[in-house]
Every structure is written in C-alpha cells, then in structure tokens.
Structure 1
Amino acid sequence: MSRQTTASTCCYCGVGCGVLIEHDGEQILGVSGDPTHPANFGKLCSKGSTLHLTGDLAARALYPELRLGKALARGRTDWDTALEHAATVFAATISEHGPDSVAFYISGQLLTEDYYAFNKLARALVGTNNIDSNSRLCMSSAVVGYKRSLGADAPPCSYEDLELSDCVMIVGSNMAYAHPVLFRRLEEAKSRRPQMKVIVIDPRRTDTCDLADLHLAILPGTDVALFHGILHLLLWEDWVDRAFINAHTEGLAELKNLVRDYTPQMVAQLCGISVEHLQQCAEWVGTSKSFLSLWCMGLNQSTAGSAKNSALINLHLVTGQIGRPGAGPFSLTGQPNAMGGRETGSLSNLLPGHREAANAEHRAEVAAYWGVEKLPDTTGLTAIELFEQVQSGKIKAMWIACTNPAQSLPDQQTVRAALQACPFVVLQEAFHTTETAPFADLLLPAASWGEKEGTVTNSERRISHVRRAITAPGEARPDWAITVDFAQRLERRLRPGQPSLFAFEQPAQVFDEYKQLTRGRDLDLCGISHALLDRLGPQQWPFPDGALNGTPRLYMDGIFPTESGRAQFVADPYRAAKEQRDARFPLTLITGRLRDQWHGMSRTGTAAQLFGHVSEALLSVHPDELRRYRLQNGDLVNLKSRRGSVIVAVGSDDSVRPGQAFLPMHWGDRFLKGGVNALTQPAFDPLSKQPELKHSGVRLEPVKLPWHLFALVEGDVQQHFEALRPLCEDFSYVSLSLTGRERPALLIRAASAQAPDPQRLHDIDQQLGLNDGPVLAYDDPRRAICKRVRIDQGRITAIRLAGETLAQHWLQNLWLEGRADEQLRRWLLAPLSTPPGSAGATVSPRKTLCNCKNVSEDAVCAGIRNGLDLQGLKQQLGCGTQCGSCVPEIKRLLAASVQPIAFTS
C-alpha cells in the first residue's frame, strides 16, 4: 500500500500533543507533530518523536493466554475460550462471595470510551464500586484540591495562559522533563517577555530551574507551610483583592487565624530557605498583574497532597488570580487521559459526569440512565486499599487493564504477594513484558497507540479524537471491545433474558451514550461527537449542545460550582511527611522522571535510542554524602527503606541537597533487580488516598560485590532480554538496558559476592552467541577473570566480561564505533584489565545529549572548545532545534566552559 498519514494524538503525558502518523496501512513508518493541533502546534518531545520506534512486536501480547492453576504455565488460547472462562469465574465468584469480591484496576492511558465501558461493567452489571485507576497514584490529590476549593474537578486554565502570565510558579514538577512541549512554550514566552517572573519550587535543582528567576529549594514535604507563609505575607502587605474576596469567596477568616502563626522566620526555617527568598516570592505573587501556578507529582504524591493543592489554590483566591487570562491554578496531568478517566468516574469514589458514588441522588441519576434498579452504595476500594484486600483474601478475582501495578505501586513486596495470592488475575495489556504479566492467569492482548480509536482529554480540558492508523498485530483488540465482549458474556450469566446493557458496535456509540451523563453538569460535553472533532478539531469542555466552540477558561464570572456559588478557602495546617529522617534512615528518598523515559518503560523501554541520555538506574546524592560514606562515583550501594532494599550504583550530584537522595521512578524489576518501588511507602493522603511515593526514609550501605559481569549483544534485543534476564536472577545486582541507535543492543551489568557456577556463564554465553563462531576469548582461572568478544566481519557484535569489568566502557565505545582493531586483539589476549592508554575506570560511555538529532555530549563539548555559542551549536550540530529538551544541559556546559580571568600584579 502507498504511504498514508493519519492525524492522532500522543499516548504519553497529559499535554495531549497532536501527531501525524505515517504508515502504509500495515506498519507505522514515522511520526511528526501535527502543526494544526492547538496543544503543540507541531512540536514533539524526544519521547513523542520516537513513538514509531517503540512497541517492538517481540514485546507485544499477540494472542490470549490462559492457565488453569497457579502452578501451571499459561498457554495460548482463543478469544472465545478466554472470555467464556473469565465470565464463568467472575460469575461464580460474585454468586458465592458477592459483588465486592471482585475488582477492576485500570489506567490513565485508556481512552474515554474504554473507561466508560469499564465503569458501566463494574457498577451497573457487577454491582461494585471496586473500580479504581492508576490515576489514584497521579492526580487524585489535584481532584480533591479542585473540588474542595472550587467545587468541581475542573482545571480553569488554558495552555495559552503560559504565554500571557506575568508570574508563573512551578511547584513540584520538573516540567522540562515531564511536560517538555509546554515547557518550551513557557521558555519561548519568557524569551519574548523577559520581565515575566518564573518561580520554581522544588527540593532539587532540575533543568526546569534553569528558567527560574527564583528557585526555592524547600525541604521535601514542606509545601503547605510555604504556601501559608506566602499567604501570611500577602495579608500583611495587603497584596490581596478584597473586592474579589468579598464577592466570590468564603472562609478567609478561619484561614487568617491559621496562617497568622506562619511567620516568615518560622516558615523559612521549616522549609530550609531564606526569609529574603520567601519575601521575594510573595511580592511577585502579590503584585504581578497575572499569576499562574503549575504543579504535578511533587504536590500530589503526598500524605498531605490534598492540603498542598488547596493551600496553593488559596493564593489564587486571596489575590483574585483566577478566571482571567494568564492566571489560575493549573495542575499538569501525568497521563494522556487521566482527565477522561475522572470525567467518566474511573476512580472508586466517582461516577460519570463529575458525580459522587457516595451521593444517593447521583447514584439514582446514573442508575436510571443505565436502566438498572440501583447502583452500589458501599464505598469502593482505592488502589492501595484494593491490593491490601487482595492480599487478605477478600478480593477473589481482579481485572487489571493497561497498567503495571507490579512496578508502579509502592511497597512492592506487599503488592506482589497480593497478586500471587489472588485466585484469578486477568491482565488486559498490550505488552507481555511488564512486571505484572507473570502474575496473570489470563492475559488478553490489547490494541495500542496507533491501533485504536476513541477520545482523550488533556490537561486543559481539550478533547481530541484519537484515530486508528493500522490494524492491531496478532489477535490484539481495542480495550473497549474486549470489555464489551466480556460484559455481554457476563450479563448472560447475571441477567439472563434481559436486554443487553452493552449494545455497542463502534467506539463512537460508546461516547455518544456517555456524553448524555454530562448534560447540565459543569463539564457538559453534549455538543461534542467524534464527527464534530473531525470537523472542528480538538475542543475544550464545557461544550454543550448548540455551542460553536469550546471554553478556554472557567470561572470568568466569579461563580463557582459550590452550594453557595463561592470558592472556598481551605484551612489545613501543615503536617510533616509520614517518614522523617532519623538515625536509622538518615536520607530522604525523592523520586521523579527522566527526560526520555515514561512511567514503567513498557513502551519507551523498547526503543534503544531513548536510553542514550541516561542508560541505567543511578542514585544521585550530594557530594558531601559520597564523602561521608567514603564512596566513589559508580560504586554499588544497598539502598534500604523500612519496606525493602535495592542495590544500585551511586553518583555525585550537587543538584540534590545533603540529606536527600534522588532515584528516577521508571526502573522496575525488569530493568533493575528489585525496582525502585521496593523502597517507597503505601502511606496515603486521608482524603485523596494518593500514596506518598515522593518521600521515603532510606539509608545507604556500601556493599562488597567483587565479582562483576558486563555483557553486550546486538540483534533481537527483546528476545535476548527475555532469555538473559532469568539467567541473572541469582546475582545480587542486575541492571539491564538498551543501547545503540542504528544497531540496537542489550546491555547487562551485574555483580555478586562470588563467581557463579560455570554452567551459568556457559548458558549466558550461549545466548550471547559466544560459545562458537568468530569469538576471541581469554581466561585467567586464578583470578576468576574471563573475557569474550565476538567479531563478525570486522565488527564487534557481542561482549562478555566476567570477574572484573574495568574495560567495559572502552569496549562499549569500540562497539559503538563499529571497529575491532589490533589494539583490541592485543588487549583481549593479554592479562591486562584496563584498556590501552587509560586508567580503565576513567573511561566513560558516550552520552547522547540531543536524542532528536543524535548529538553526543562529546560533540557538543568539542563545538564549545571551537568557540561555538548556543546558536552556533544549533546551526552546526542541530542540537536543541527540535524538542529543545537538551538546551538546559547545553547551557550548563557553555557556562562551565567560561573560565574566570586571572589578574596578576
């Protein structure tokens, strides 16, 4: 077939970028930004621009797999057998133990139509509110903050407010990594209007801070105290909008009594910042013509997440900075359709159309519309509670869709024990390689990005039509279709002879039924349809019948969807995070995102070039901490919390304050033995039930693992991954990643206290292709050192070092250069450990600074030495000219190259 282009949306963060998918009807060949989409106007980040390189078929679930006992392996089956078996098990479980003995755990990556089908299945057919989403880990505190303060879960702003604001406060978000397209938009706005003030509040000095006029590096978890301290100063200096307060708010008197005690001196000490910086922040907030706040997981993932959200919104209410251009509290959504999930009721406490499951009137409205007698009135279980009930045996059957709880939930030891104990686990998933897949009794292959149709809602309430470009591979099916097929089979058992609740044949029918539940509500989108979105493009809700266009901003009339019509000041006192530093756990572990990876890496982890910037898990600590523990960069440490431990390499990073440590959240057990969330805690906010993933007490313990392994093999990386990961299970430390661009390869680093059984090395070498063929080998049994390199047609194709690995980076660079010269042969066949002409450990692997244009850090540094400035580097190398994510790092290299002038007398 000829090459075609299909307009769709990106499947990563909540920015909701439009993409143009280039394909031939069977395969996706390329992707570019859609210049007509109002979320991104053609721009894409490093993740979005490589979407066509992800989703390796070897990692995809392609057909249903079923096992009939926990001790048995899954085997291939057909859809009819799979869904009939699932319906039989669910029906029997419900009959014997009641509707609340089953549960559904779904995802912010589903389409709105998928969400709606799942909600109707759980609440109308099964009769349970046990349906929660991984958005509970992401946005539930923002939901509570908006609802308590403003009356509805409705972000009031638009992306254009980033360009119109005079003062932008970014809180708990490394926006440059997590929402890079929006950050570029803010960056460009500030370059045009340098007088715009940018405040960044974050314990770490991230790339986002490079744009800041003021960085408040507060101590983790002290956000509420900071916001109360700012409010104290706003009231003291009379930087408030009294007319707005009197006409449109209530509750300020109680809040004033609370914040009276949050004096600048007390707040500065509590937050670990200076009084001068606190005062400067308050002045900019209070005196700017427009004030916009942006926040993400740093506020939400906390035992005080709801209080943090409301305390921030208080600043907007007291200054009247809401409902007008350039102003308002704007939460940045973490997943592509977490907003759509909230709209359809895909948290256990919600119902479709921004209704509450605990509200009898709301339940009656939805039940009447669905044509069922009633909806369940018992409270549904939230994510953490849900898995606790699975482990206790109260949940007997669980359906998981498009999410990976065996990687993403905190306290992984408990989560995995729960999954193992559950009598029946269904996993509806596009990738068979996730950490959750081994626990599935039934694996159902789902269609993925570019393969299904529906809608998503981005952070600014903008609904986009997601269009299918190609047919899903194998027997994979769209999520809504799987859910509807199962529901029809289940209702024949639970409601025999009654009309079907699931008479859907197309996703547009699902959307059209769902949207009627929003009629007259704050999010009314009855005027939207798939056809309208095709005709007019993406639209912001509310968009009622008869509307000609969407709604850019909410609350411009000062009327809020509360009982009184007024916004509410919320007076929650500051409460410290659950785990504080102490003698046993003297460090605070912070988690966050990498620039080029996303969530649990089930998709990004299949693209080798996305490992070019950061290739492996690294624990970042302040140089003072390295000295305190007498550690060097790259040393392995046992990182321990109260729940578990993980062995990881450590690195010096002065962007992290002493007493803190940072570890990216993406590394699950598949890539790093144990995974990051072996350490994190399940303690959650009492209102939002969102866990405190950002803040855990940990300690470092140096480990002595003298035996090291390094392996690299190109070819079918997913096949190598699946074969080699189990062979490394007995090693104390295991790190797997991908490398390369034109020639992707699997990279393994491992360590252990002693050398493994020779058979284990033989099995590893067999998979690496090092047991026969053109292989150079050297063995030193006395020192337990052996080296293997395979050279095909003058080029390295596989490497394995065992015992010690000082030459690993040198060899990796030789592989990257595609050469195998005599220098390699002399080194390999001699009793030398370090590479020729080096001290061994000083050689480092090449780092890709600009993924979009494949520009290495070495090339940028060479350009700087040749006198190029930022514009010169862009023109000559192309770096920084596409998504721009590498620009902050390039600027730091330029700044570091400027040497002070020495004066002599």
Structure 2
Amino acid sequence: MNEFRTTCPYCGVGCGVIARQDDASGQWSVAGDKEHPANYGRLCSKGSALAETLDLPHRLTAPKIRQPDGALQETDWNTAMDRIAEGFRRTIEEYGPNSVAMYVSGQILTEDYYVANKLMKGFIGTANIDTNSRLCMSSAVAAHNRAFGADTVPVSYDDLEQADLVVLTGSNTAWAHPVVFQRLVAAKERRPEMTFVVIDPRRTATCDIADLHLPLAPGTDALLFNGLLVALAQAGKLDMDFVHHHVDGFDETLAAARHDAPDIETVAQRCGLPQADLERFFDLFAKTERTVTLWSQGLNQSASGTDKGNALINCHLATGRIGKPAMGPFSITGQPNAMGGREVGGLANQLAAHQGFTPADIDRVARFWQSDRVARAPGLKAVDMFKGLQDGHIKAIWIVATNPAFSLPNANQVRAALAACPLVVLSECVENTDTAAFADILLPATTWGERDGTVTNSERRITRQLPFIAPPTQARHDWQMICELGRRLGFAQAFDYPDSAAIFREYAAMTGFENAGSRDLDISAFAQLDKAAYDALEPSRWPQPADRPAVEPFSDGRFFTPNGRARMIPIHAKGPASPLNPAHPLRLNTGRLRDQWHGMTRTGIVPRLMTHFSEPTVSVHPSDAARFKLRGHQIARLGNAHGIAYARVLLDDNQRPGSLFMPLHWNHAYARHGLVNALVNGVVDPVSGQPEFKTMAVWAEPYPARWFGFALLAPEFADRTPTDWPGDYAVTIPGANHHRIELAGVDSPDDWLDWAKQQLSTPQTEGDATPQWIEFADPGSGRFRIAQIRQGRLDWVLHVTPDSRAVDTDWLAGLFAEDELSPAMLADLMAGKPAGVQDDRGPIICACFSIGRNSLLKAIADEGITDVKTLGECTQAGTNCGSCIPELKLLLQTAGTTAGSKEPA
C-alpha cells in the first residue's frame, strides 16, 4: 500500500485523512487518520466517500478562451496568461487599481490565499480581494475583532468535550460538522452528567443530544443572549473581579441588555419560547462554570450577525468564562480553510497576518513585502464587489475555486453582473459550474488529492494537505497561476517561489515580523522549515512563536486591543431584515444537508450520497401545508421579488410554524429552478458585510403541474442538463450505472414518443447498432412510456404520468447493469412495473450502506429492536460514519417498539 496523510476538503472540522493505494489494483481508498487530533479516525459520510470523487466528471484539463460566438476554445497556458495579464494591465492603466478584483474561496489552501492577497493588496494596490468565507464566517470575525481586538478563536475541540454545559446555537452540528457532533456524543457517553442546550428554530438532528431545545423565533438570538446577561446579573453570577481587571464596556452593555430584555417574561414572549424553558436555560448557564457556547451560520448569516455574536460573547466575558479550559465562545467555521484565509488577509477589510488598515499595519506590511504599492484602505466586500461588476466600477475579475453565480445572494442579479463584466477569469477544476457559463477565460486548477499546501481548521490547527495523485497534465495550482500573473505584471521578484513550502515560510515569517506578542497570530517557529520538514509538519495549533513560549490566547487575561482589555459591546437586538407581509407571509431558512457539500461538485457524483435527499426539498410544518394547500411529495413554488424556486414538499412537524427550510445545494447543473439563493435579497450586516440567508420573506403555493415524469439514462446518454428537458421542474440525480431525471410541467411536447426519440437518441454513425423502441401511449389518461434498447442493452427509459405518486425505480435502475435484457425484462418495461414482488427499501437513511427506511422498519419489527446499537448490528446502519444515528433514533421512537430488545438472529 502507498499511504499518505492529508486532510478532508469539506467542512471546517479539518479531519485528518489517510489515502491508500492498493499496489495490485491501483485503487485508492480513504480512512480517518486515527492520530489526527481533530477527528481521531472519525469521518462523516462525505469524507468516507472521498475516494469515489477522485475522477471528477466535466474535469477542466486545459485553458479555454471564449470566442466571439460564445463557444469555448482550448488554448495553451502562455496564450491564456497573456490575455489575462493584458486585460488586467490595460484595465488598471485606464481605470486605476480599484477597477480590478479577485474573488477567492475557503476551498483553496493557505499558500494560494497568501499569494493572491499579496498580489492584489501588496503590488496591484487594491484591496478588492474578498472570499466566499464572507458568506459564512465574516460576522464571527467582526465580533471577535470588536471584543478581543483580533480574530481569535479561544476554544478547542478538547474544550468542547471537557465542558459540563455545551450550548449549540445557530448550528445543526450533526449535519454541518458531523465529526464534532460525534465527538460530543462520545463525550456524553463517557460523562453522562454533561448537559446540552440546542437553540434553533427547527428541531434538527442535533437535538438528538439536547437536554433542552429552545425553538426560538427566527432572528431573536441577540435578544435571547441579552436576556441571559440580565438574568446572570440578577442572579449575582457575574465575575466582577474579571470584569474589573480585564473588560471594558460592562456598564453600557448591561444597560443596553436591560433596555432590550427587562425581564424574562418579555424575552420569552418576544422569542416565542415557554418561560419555564427559558428559566431552565438561564439557570443552567448561571450555575455551570465550564460552559462552551458553539455557534455557526444560524447567527452569522444575518443582517445583524455581528451583534448576535457579540451578544453571545458578552455573556462569556461578564462571567469570566474565557481563556480557561472547557469554557469560552466557539465560532465553528464552515469551509475547510476559512480560518487559513482569514489568517492571510483573504477578506477585503484585512491585511495579511491578522493586520488591518491602520497606518502602522500598512507600513509594516509594506516594509515586509518591500512594496510601495500596498493598498491603503479596505476593498469591496463580496456583495458590493458584484454590484461593482454590474455598475461598471469593476471591469476585470478573477474568480478562484468558487461559484458565485450559485452561492451569492440575489443570484439572478449576480449572473447579470458577470454577464456585464468585460473580463471574467475563472480558475476551476470542473467546467460545468454556473459561473463557468459567464467566464471569458477558464483555467484548469488542481483539486483535492493533487493540491499541495496547508489548511487551518476551526480550532486554529494547521495541517498539511499533501498531494498523492498526479493532476491532469495542464492543471496548475492556484498559487502558480497567480504568481504567473504577478510576474507578467512586472513583479517577478516578489512572486518567484519554487514551491508551496517557500510561500509557507514567507507567510510564517510575516506573522512574527515585529510581533513580540503584540498580535495573536504568530507561527514564526515554522519560518525556517525546509521542504522535508514542511512535508512532515504535524497538525499544530497556533500560536507557534519562534522567540517565546506559546501561550493559549486570553489565558493570561490579556487581549489584543490597544489597552489589552476585552470589550463588551452594547447590543440592541434587531429583528429579521425582511419583514413579513400578506404577500410574503413565510420565513425561508437555508442550510446544508448531511451528505452534500455546497454545489455538489464532488458529493453529487457519488450515488450513495444522493440517496438521502436526491431532489430540492422544502420542509413545511403540517399546519402551514394545510394553510397554503401544499401536499407532501408534490411540488411547491416559492418566491418573492428576487426570484422563484421549485422544490418537493416535505411535511415536517419539526419545523417551526410559519417557517420553511430549503437546502442550498441545488444549482443549475442539477436542477432547473432549485436555486434557493435566487430568493435571498442581498441585505448585509453593516459591520461584517455578511448577507442574511436565514430569514427571507417568501410566498409558497402548489405548482399546478399537469404532468409528471422521470427518465433513467445510461451514462453515455446522461450529458443533458436540466434545461434540456421539458417542464419547469427538472432535476438530475446521478446513479451508479445510470442517471435519473425527475420532471414536472404545465406545458408538454405535442407527442412525447416523438420528442423522446428526437431528443434522447444520439445521432447514428456508420456501424452503430440500430435502436429498438418499446412504446406505450395512452393520451386520454396522460400516460406514456418509452425505452430505447441497442444490442440488448437498455439506453434510456422515460415515464410520464398525470400524477405525482412516488415511484420505486430501483428495479428499472437494475436493468442498466444487464448485458442483455431477457424477454421477461422487456415485458416489465412494456408494463411499466416488474412482474415479481419487489421490496421497496424506502427513502435512504444510511447513505454509507444504502439502507432505506422501510428496510430498517422491517428489521425493527421482525427483531424487536429498541436501540441503535442492536439496529446497527442487525443492518449495519450507523456503523460507519455515524451521521445517520439521530435519524435511526427517531425511527426507533416512531416505530413504537416496546422495551426489551430481542437479540438479532
């Protein structure tokens, strides 16, 4: 076995991964690294499937330039880089440095981030470089800077496990950060006295470990924490000695909280919570010193996200619960290198090494980089940057490893902005993203398994991401492309790096430059690493200074403000930015699913990861479904002034009435109208610039489809996009040996059979086998079936019906694995159903082993199972990554089994 230690490219947990190649077969496999302190061998369903994503479809393998007719044409690197350098140089000369921009990503490595920031802010002289981390963690950054004087996360995963009380707020940790959740579950098993409070409008899978769930009204988080601060003061549970010696702003902050939350009755009423539950939470927090409060997008993705973060931090500062083991506020990052990007100045309002745009910092950065061109002021943040494209202020942009046409709010406006920009450069690993459709120049980038650098996870831990497979011949690392632009713009000496190790050494040296403990980020101990030592770098939490012992931040009571004292920030709670009204009576929340990652470039190609949720869904409380005439499994249309989205209705009494939930993952590569960000209005936090994604005001109505259908296609026929199909609802679902398309529409082709033959069949060339068609048509009832067979093998099958009944297609999918269809199989195709009795496994619960709900219920009933462990022993469900365990527990409860489990046979 060839074996490599690297890191997972998904969320900010930063799990260590062992990639192994079998000497005989050449096949790669992955496993969790049992020695990595982030995960100790655990992986979630996404991480467990990484080996299945090494061969990405639609891989971009050569530079491409868009021609006047709109077509992309392959070119060589020299021509592509000449075109980019000429475009950037001409634009800067004519309109100035602020007419160009770069938009980067928490997916790239720290070394890529560093040179991008150095080029834009240090040598081109504009701070118009921002990152998609602006969309997920920038409010936490702003809250840290306001409270601590630096973007310092003062908590580790070990602190989480050792705490006596863990408060999880605005975070469905079980799905968004599954390995952290698994660590919490294991800690609870070791220490049953641990207490968990989950604060979330929805009852999510994370509530599986909750001793108390507070389903607060959307947007009332800051009010809740203001109420907590008042309750702590009334109970005499504040640490006034710590406040006196280490904190400013206490009196003003408590006064603001008392104005907002004068009593618990007011807080309970405005938050929509039972007063008894609120009293219990306040009492738990008051009496439990070892408390960690973990938060994520539910707080950050808000027009007042910074205030929400500071309201939470205020409670820890007022009680002195910071800088000590097993206590503190913990912002957990969304992307694998969101933290690394923040360290090197990836945000438009920062300079590298946690420095800002103060005169002293600008001077220090200029001297370190030996440049007189350093930007003097913050640049445009993400939302404003793309407004700048639309209004013409920005005339050239380079987008790196991200898909803003999908991920930014007001997605339709972003597409218009990209279309209006004279020069759009995109470096990517695949060429079928929504943003690629607007790129003038596409550059082939390396991807996971090929990249070479470092990432920093949510607990400030730096880990090497080692390459273990060779990239396509023409693919390059992002840092190599960016350095090439720097050289062509005349800055060759500043961008002459032989490898990523040289970049890392320079970055490490910069963190220690004129630092001496004045700044939180210092990894200067790594500034002398040679290539071998860099490759062997062990996972390490910063700070790692070269000239003094490392001190855990705030453990000495010293903060990074000018006077060394923390700041409590007076907060006046604000409601959601989008008011409800009769035309828009519902709140729309967006977020992640358990088995998917962002735009599904990787996870969407793994069939078993598409089985848990295979289509865009909208979760609706049954009372709202009745109110708005929505029915389970049917299609709903959601909208507001910004756009429209279509999704399958999922009835869910865990939803808070009046609120909807729709996953963020479906883009135009997978669904025609599944883009939830088309409904997000782009209102941003005035401090952080982070958009509000969680409380959009929308309407919802049944989609009046007149027909429904599905198609299954062999891989060679599966290159059609959702826009190639009739109907408003078209969703592509990759399978193991086929692709499935779910369809619905109002208007339909005049002749379905003729449409299928014309649109699904490939042009015949000499020597091709003549296709055979199996056809069934009943125009009166609106039912059509057609399948194409060549040389005995199934090419594709299309079913159209007048209703939206869920259809089990497993038997049809199995036909694509047959070398030749038997007469019985052909008869089944004609009949539209198998002759034999088929067990329908139901919706998939365990993605690792493709185990469905019906199969699990049968096992529970047949074996009398009452606990998850026995269910796993019987079916394997939950025994690999463990991400499905909360759903297994819920299934056991709903199955109504009696106590006294029967041992499986």
Q: Would you call these one fold, judging by a TM-score over 0.5?
A: yes
Partner of 1:267: 267
Contact 1:580 1:588 in 2 (8 A): no
Residue of structure 2 equivalent to 1:504: 497
Distance 1:848 1:532, change over 3 A: same
Which of the residues 802, 822, 845 maps onto 1:849? Answer: 845
Worse overlay, 397-406 or 115-124: 115-124
* Corresponding residue number in structure 2 for 1:676: 676
* C-alpha contact 1:801 1:808 (8 A) present in aligned 2: no
1:97 paired residue number: 95
- Aligned equivalent of 2:217: 219
Corresponding residue for 2:509?
516
Secondary structure at the counterpart of residue 30 of structure 2: strand
Q: Is 1:764 aligned to 2:759, yes or no? A: yes
Q: Is the 8 A contact 2:769 2:791 kept in 1?
A: no
Question: Cα gap change, 1:836/1:579 in structure 2, threshold over 3 Å: closer, same or farther?
Answer: farther
**Cross-structure match for 2:871:** 873
Q: Does 1:725 align with 2:684?
A: no
* Aligned match of 2:312: 312
The one-letter amino acid paired with 1:445 is P
**Aligned residue number for residue 85 of structure 1:** 83
How far apart are the structure 2 equivalents of 1:300 and 1:806?
38
Question: Matched residue of 1:891: which SS?
Answer: helix
Worse-superposed segment, 645-654 or 107-116: 645-654
Gaps of 5+ in 1: none
Residue type of the partner of 1:225? L
Q: What does residue 709 of structure 1 align with?
A: 709
Distance change (3 Å), C-alpha of 1:508 and 1:618: same
1:176 corresponds in structure 2 to 174
8 A Cα contact 1:226 1:271, kept in partner: yes
Aligned to 2:857: 861
Structure 1 residue 531, shift from structure 2 partner: 4.7
Partners of 1:504 and 1:273 lie apart in 2 by 57
Q: Does structure 1 residue 779 correspond to structure 2 residue 741?
A: no
Residue by residue over 1:90-125, the C-alpha shift from the partner in whole angstroms, topping out at 9 and shown as x without a partner, is 111111111111100000111010001101111222
SS at match of 1:694: coil
Q: Does 1:650 align with 2:649?
A: yes
Is contact 2:864-2:897 (8 Å) kept? Answer: no
Q: In structure 2, do the counterparts of structure 1 residues 724 and 768 end up closer, same or farther at CA, with 3 Å as the change threshold?
A: farther
How do 1:355-370 and structure 2 match up within 5 A?
355-357=355-357, 359-370=358-369
Q: 1:307-456, aligned counterparts within 5 Å?
A: 307-357=307-357, 359-456=358-455
For 2:748 and 2:825, the matched residues in 1 are separated by 25
Distance 1:771 1:265, change over 3 A: farther
Q: Mark the CA change 1:82 to 1:863 in structure 2 (over 3 Å): closer, same or farther.
A: same
> Are the equivalent residues in 2 in contact too, given 1:778–1:828 (CA < 8 A)?
no
Query: 1:466 aligned to 2:490?
Result: no
SS across alignment from 1:115:
helix
CA RMSD in angstroms comes to: 2.5
**1:898 Cα deviation from its structure 2 partner:** 2.1
What SS does the corresponding residue of 1:224 show, helix, strand or coil?
A: helix
Letter in 2 for 1:129: A
Query: Matched residues in 1 for 2:878 and 2:488: separation?
Result: 53
Q: Is the 8 A contact 2:317 2:568 kept in 1?
A: yes
Q: 1:56 to 1:761 in 2, by over 3 A?
A: same
**Matched-pair contact (CA < 8 Å) for 2:634–2:804:** no
Return the alpha-carbon distance in structure 1 between the equivalents of residues 564 and 500 of structure 2: 36
Q: Which moved more, 1:132-141 or 1:482-491?
A: 482-491
Q: Which residue of 1 aligns with 2:594?
A: 595
SS of aligned partner of 2:576: coil
Gaps of 5+ in 2: 900-905
Are the aligned partners of 1:768 and 1:798 in contact in 2 as well (CA < 8 Å)? no
Q: Which amino acid is 2:720 matched to? A: A
Code of the aligned partner of 2:314: N
Alpha-carbon deviation of 1:474?
3.7
Once the two structures are superposed, the pairs formed by residues 772-851 of structure 1 within 5 Å of their partners are 773=771, 775-790=773-788, 798-804=796-802, 809-816=807-814, 828-829=829-830, 846-851=842-847
TM-score, normalising length: structure 1 = 0.93
What residue identity is the alignment partner of 2:210? A
| Alpha-carbon distance between aligned partners in 2 of 1:217 and 1:621, rounded to the nearest angstrom | 15
- How many residue pairs get aligned? The number is 877
SS at structure 2 position matched to 1:326: coil
Moved more, 764-773 or 774-783: 764-773
Identify the residue that residue 117 of structure 1 maps to in structure 2.
Answer: 115
Structure 2 SS opposite 1:431: coil
Are residues 860 and 767 of structure 1, via their aligned partners in 2, closer, same or farther at CA, if it must alter by over 3 Å?
Answer: farther
Q: Secondary structure at the match of 1:589?
A: strand
For the residue of structure 1 that corresponds to 2:777, the secondary structure is strand
Contact 1:56 1:606 in 2 (8 A): no
The structural deviation recorded for 1:347 is 0.6
What corresponds to 1:187 in structure 2? 185
Which is worse superposed, 820-829 or 678-687? 820-829
Give the Cα separation in 2 of the matches to 1:595 and 1:294.
19
Paired amino acid for 1:762: K
Residue of structure 2 equivalent to 1:540:
541
* SS at structure 1 position matched to 2:118: helix
1:173–1:296 CA contact under 8 A, matched in 2: yes
Instruction: Describe the superposition over 1:417-473 as per-residue Cα deviations: whole angstroms up to 9, x where unpaired.
Output: 001111110000111121111111000000000102111100110100111101112
Provide the secondary structure at the position in 1 that maps to 2:49: helix
1:167-204 per-residue CA deviation (whole Å, 9 max, x = no partner) reads: 00001010000110110000111112111110000010
**CA 1:722/1:191 → structure 2, altered by over 3 Å: closer, same or farther?**
same
Q: Percent identity, aligned pairs only?
A: 41
Deviating more after overlay: 627-636 vs 615-624: 627-636
Superposed displacement of residue 45, structure 1 = 0.5
Matched, 1:299 2:299: yes
How far did residue 803 of structure 1 move?
A: 4.6
Distance 1:435 1:176, change over 3 A: same
Alpha-carbon contact 2:56-2:602 (below 8 Å) kept = no
Partner of 1:695: 695
Deviates more, 1:359-368 or 1:6-15: 359-368
Is this contact kept in 2: 1:230–1:279, CA < 8 A? no
Q: State the distance in 1 between where 2:373 and 2:488 align.
A: 21
Distance 1:89 1:266, change over 3 A: same
Would the aligned equivalents of 1:363 and 1:374 in 2 still touch at CA under 8 Å?
no
TM-score by length of 2: 0.93
Does 554-563 or 54-63 show the bigger shift? Answer: 54-63
Q: CA deviation at 1:822?
A: 7.7
Distance in 2 of aligned mates of 1:108 and 1:673: 27
| Partner SS, residue 723 of structure 1 | coil
- The separation in 2 between residues aligned to 1:23 and 1:485, in whole angstroms, is 33
Cα offset, 1:782, TM superposition: 4.3
CA distance in structure 1 between the aligned counterparts of 2:806 and 2:620, rounded to whole angstroms: 24
The offset of 1:232, in angstroms, is 1.0
- Structure 2 CA distance for aligned equivalents of residues 637 and 377 of structure 1: 49
In 2, Cα distance between equivalents of 1:594 and 1:184: 16
Query: Which amino acid is 2:437 matched to?
Result: P
Residues 28/321 of structure 1: CA separation in 2 closer, same or farther (3 Å cut): farther
Instruction: Return closer, same or farther for 1:343/1:531 CA change in 2, 3 Å cut-off.
Output: farther
Cα separation, 2, equivalents of 1:650 and 1:855:
22
CA offsets 1:508-561 (integer angstroms, 9 cap, x no match): 01111112221123110011246546556110100011578x66x421111111
Whole-angstrom CA distance in 2 between matches of 1:686 and 1:94 = 29
Q: How does 1:578-593 map to 2 (within 5 A)?
A: 578-593=577-592
Verify the 8 A CA contact 2:738 2:813 in the aligned structure 1.
Answer: no
Match of 1:526 among 507, 524, 540: 524
Q: 2:746 matched to which residue of 1?
A: 753
1:625 Cα deviation from its structure 2 partner: 1.3
Letter in 1 for 2:719: E
The offset of 1:808, in angstroms, is 6.4
Q: Taking structure 1 as reference, are residues 825 and 72 closer, same or farther at Cα in structure 2, changes over 3 Å only? A: closer
Matches within 5 A, 1:26-175: 29-69=28-68, 71-175=69-173
* Deviation readout 1:114-155 (Å, 9 max, x if unpaired): 001101111222111100000100110000111111111010
- SS state at 1:810 partner: coil
